[in-house]
Amino acid sequence: MEASPAVIIIKKKKGHGGHHGGAWKVAYADFVTAMMALFIVLWLMNASKQVQEAVGGYFKDPRGTAKRVGSNQNGIDAYVPLKKEDMNKLKEELLQSIHHLDPLDKLKNQIEITVTAEGLRIELMESAKGTFFELGSAAPTPALRDLLRVLSIELGKLPNKISIEGHTDSNLYSTAQKYDNWDLSTDRANEARRLMQAEGVREDQIAQVRGFADRQPRLPQHPEDPSNRRITLIVQYQVIHASEVPLPSSVTSQNAAPPGGQASNSSTGPGLGRAGQ
């Protein structure tokens, strides 16, 4: 009987790219990287213009030697200043926030926001009966508290410095020797500063607190007009570096008077009657 030929079976081992391979890890890493890049692009498309310029400036010049980049020459992050077109956008955002607070536009004629050479100028003008402050006093009304709360939330997000000015009309106090328009304008500006810092504006944002009395009337031809009594907020054009040391509270709260004027820390006391203001 003949023997059956031996059958030899050769099994070839195939490489496994599944659980035991590493190719899928590379593909997954590429996918995650691409998704992260997509989300960054989507975020930048919805970010403010100053953020876009800061991020773009960093990639163009990561060493920080250019004029406008995301970091300075010491590698410290720097804020990009708001340009005029940015101020116009900020103006519209503030007007929308104010409209939500005052949907009937009752304060429309007493709030004026303009873009000037020094920055965004926000003027809160009084009415004959007193809208933002009690007559002849630095005591704020609920209307001023609510309005400054809305403005402070938005302005507190910015790196820009803010100046606060107080103005009065030309009506005089009957007791001008003890308390006059210089005191009143300075006290009102300082009260606005306190309210804004309590609602979101950082202490190091306040650049100046000034009282001008009746020396810079809004309507020079009508010095006794109630609209001359006003608080002015100025959002300045500037760059603030993260390395900048915040000013002490004693400096930021200091009342600065214009040349030739006087500054006072006096508070409104009882019995100081005054027509207007």
46, 80, 114: which is the final residue of a domain? 80
Same domain? For 121 and 207 the reply is: yes
Residues 155, 201 contacting (CB under 8 angstroms): yes
Tell me what pLDDT residue 197 has.
96
pLDDT score for 10: 72
Residues 124, 216, single domain; the answer is: yes
pLDDT of residue 66: 46
Q: Which pTM was predicted?
A: 0.58
Statement to judge: residues 150 and 216 lie in one domain: yes
One domain, residues 59 and 73: yes
Amino acid 61: pLDDT: 62
Domain boundary among 80, 100, 115: 80
The pLDDT assigned to 203 comes to 93
Identify the CA nearest to 120 among candidates 146, 154, 72.
154
| Claim to verify: residue 110 and residue 247 sit in the same structural domain | yes
Q: Give domain status of residue 102, yes or no.
A: yes
User: What distance in Å separates the CA atoms of residue 200 and residue 117, rounded to the nearest whole number?
Assistant: 25
Same domain, 36 and 172: no
Residues of the chain with pLDDT under 70: 1-3, 11-21, 49-50, 57-58, 60-84, 174-177, 238-277
In a domain, 273, yes or no: no
Q: Is residue 14 part of a domain?
A: no
- CATH code (residue 218): 3.30.1330.60
Residue 24's domain comprises 20-80
Instruction: Please state the φ and ψ torsions of residue 231, each to the nearest 5 degrees.
Output: -110, 130
Domain boundary among 61, 80, 99: 80
Q: Are residues 162 and 34 in the same domain?
A: no
Asked whether residue 29 is domain-assigned, the answer is: yes
Could you tell me if residue 215 is inside a domain?
yes
Question: Both 193 and 232 in a single domain?
Answer: yes
* Domain total of the chain: 2
Q: Do 153 and 217 reside in the same domain of the chain?
A: yes
Task: Please answer whether residues 71 and 53 qualify as being in contact, where contact means their C-beta atoms are separated by less than 8 angstroms.
Answer: no
Q: Are residues 105 and 201 both part of a single domain? A: yes
State the Cα–Cα distance between residues 249 and 123, nearest whole angstrom. Answer: 25
